[in-house]
Chain A
Amino acid sequence: MTREELERIRAEAKQALEARDMTTLPEGELKPPRPGEVRVVLRNCGQIDPTRIEDYIARDGYFALAKALGMSPEQVIDEVKRSGLRGRGGAGFPAAQKWLFARQAVAARPAPADGSPPAYLICNGDEGDPGAFMDRAVLEGDPHSVLEGMTIAAYAMGATQGYLYVRAEYPVAVDHLQKAIPQARKLGLLGKDIFGAGFDFDVDIRIGAGAFVCGEETALIDSIEGRRGEPRPRPPFPAVSGLWGKPTSVNNVETLANVPQIILKGAEWFAAMGTEKSKGTKTFAIAGKVKNTGLIEVPMGITMREIIYDIGGGILDKKKFKAAQTGGPLGGCLPEQYLDTPIDFESLAAAGSLMGSGGLIVLDENDCMVDVARFFMDFTQDESCGKCPPCSLGTKRLLEILTRMTRAEGTPEDLLTLEYLTQNIATTALCALGQGSVNPVVTTLRHFRDEYEAHIRDKFCPAGVCKGMFHYEILAECCTGCGVCRKKCPEGVIRGEKKAPHEIDQPNCIVCGDCYKACKFAAIAIRPGPTEKSRRAAHKTETPQG
């Protein structure tokens, strides 16, 4: 393959692409860009057929690789460094710095005598954060952009073998990659002597097996080696001793998908977007109680209010905004006062949350913050690898306390224990999973302490979530007597004449919430104390744990 050949393919493919009707992604997944969006990583998603390499080339694909291989590896690192690209997997470590460290480590040791690769590049596609699916969208919708980014990164750091680690939960992404890799090999864009520059690189897919902790780079390396994914203490960092003891760089899907665009359009173009310390764009997966859910890509520094209200269309069903949960299970819940904070790596960390991989879940007045904290703790406790005691034992204790609180069994001492434990776990756990596992608890305690206190002191769940800790009442002054609640009630315990205030037969109410959801006049209120039936039901069954 030469540049001229690539240009010829592009000219032909462009015509073919323009002649075709493109509707590759399922409806509702990726909508056309909304005002305020800038698409860099998602630029091809939905615009090309991801199973055809020609489509990618038609949109200037692999031209960045041709350009990069005409530069020295140091120049490539310098270009990415000047762009200010930081890791999109959550921690925000400068991407170029990782490659530089690995490159120095390769130079410092003798070339392997057995012909094995001197270094490895790993693309981390183990997108485990519930609520985030940008990596899935890119791997499914534009797999070649990730392969091209990997090849450029490998050239910069000195790797000749790459691994693409993808979750088993993403069968379509795996399928598209299994088609993309042979296509790239066939055109000589992967394999030996790429673009005649004397550079060899190939990629192998590794499929995850369902372990959240494998998103942590040292655990991911263990997993590729065929072991349980258990984080290792650092140093040595993977850049010095990673996969099979060789210098290794682990980069996120979104990070790598940015790289070809940076090489093609230049560091200055990329650095012109974003904030002082966080450059470029970021994809966010908006979900939860918001009108327009889905993936968006916006410049760093945008505010949460712009994302939720301007792009997201506001809260569902005219409810009140309560919190935005960012950064997945290791992130935090931010209340209204943070809506106007510009979002970047630093500002989210300062607020006690995380950028994470970019999941943004909107919570409204009917979400209980104690239950949300319990939900995330249940997740991290289940996903704790079990290696270090602060995480494996600490998360278990935290989960027990939070579960007690959501069952009306919390005590005032529990709040103190939560504070003490979260501090300890955050400072002593081995990896980011353990250290971050406390963030949902810490942020909800900080911003929604009144809800914790209501659960403990009054045995009351003000949001109406925790079973057996509230009941519904019809407010006579608001009820229009429309009768919708009476018709909805599965137990037939709502009484009332047409156009007259209705009433709930409390002892027989199971507190299912159907009337509350159905009422158009906000005439049904959540009040402390269970009904007889809901108390018995709460003792008998438990909420299924996620």
Chain B
Amino acid sequence: MSALATEVCVIGGGLAGASTALHLARRSVPVVLLEKGLAGAQASGVNFGGVRQNGRHLAEVPLAMRSRREIWDNLPALIGVDGEFTVTGHLRLARTEADARVLETFSAEAAKLGLATDMVRGQALRERWPWLSGVPVAGCFCPNDGHANPRLVAPAFARAARAACAEVREGEEASAIERDGAGFRVATRSGLELKARVLVNAAGAWGAGLAARFGEPVTMHTIAPQMIVTEPAPHRVAPVLGIVGGAIYLRQIARGNVIFGGGDGIADTATTRHHVVPDATIDAAAVAHELIPHLRHLMIIRVWTGIEGETDDLIPVIGASRTTPGLFHAFGFSGHGFQLGPMAGKILAELILDGATPSPIAPFAIGRFAPRS
């Protein structure tokens, strides 16, 4: 049996885990990342690809702004590829006056945090984005948001971590994870044994299960956001679109394909094979051509989904364990972790090495799920 001693063991090769490993390795910390399948193959690699600060939970806004500056503006330097990151702006739409007030509140509150957005109302929406139907009544536009290709970005984080001398082991599923003296002992199904001083739980949809082993319950369930892509068409829809209530989100990439998400497929945590549900495809497509009428002429060529953990309050768990010294969590991104996940990794590296982070992470503390006595 091979035994390995390291400083940090990261469980999970998605964006949060791979970015943690990358940032630790860049600071010369010995780190081993264990991924049960292929790195970046689950939610990190098969999500919508939105890189947005707009419309987020206000607690996430400062992290998303930092992520935009420190991660996304530096992507090639960080991971060696641009991941097709394109700054197009993000337009969040409202279909009712009540939803428009949601946008206005966000715009005002985000401004206080330093995030600039424009409110656009009524006819001005159609003048600025003439392909919109008459359905939206207002929009909130954040100009420096954009989108990228998760298929390329997520595996590239793991490759960059490896290039920075992190040991990234794919196909290694942890079978035993336990406290061992002042550190941790991890055993995998293939017989690998590992001792580490620090353990990082970046296990995505499986993160709550891992936290529970250390007496830290998190109310989380799995979701399988469903994505749809059309054949390529002339490029008209520049900004990424969202909508209050989240019925769909949509972007058109430079080569012309329109990608949109909406509704849920079915996730299977045991097999990690997930199924798309036809009614969800049909409903999302119906909303897409209701908002952008010219899309009705396009053909849907492919639909996919992936597994993700959604917490009860829809924001992730990021930070140190309350019960176990040396244990850190970053999971439960609730369907919007693509922009944020890499930043969460950087923050964990700061917490592990510096004992503190400049980012306000109190709202993401795992203790918020602890039973109140």
Does A pair with B?
no
Q: CB within 8 Å of A: which residues of B?
A: none
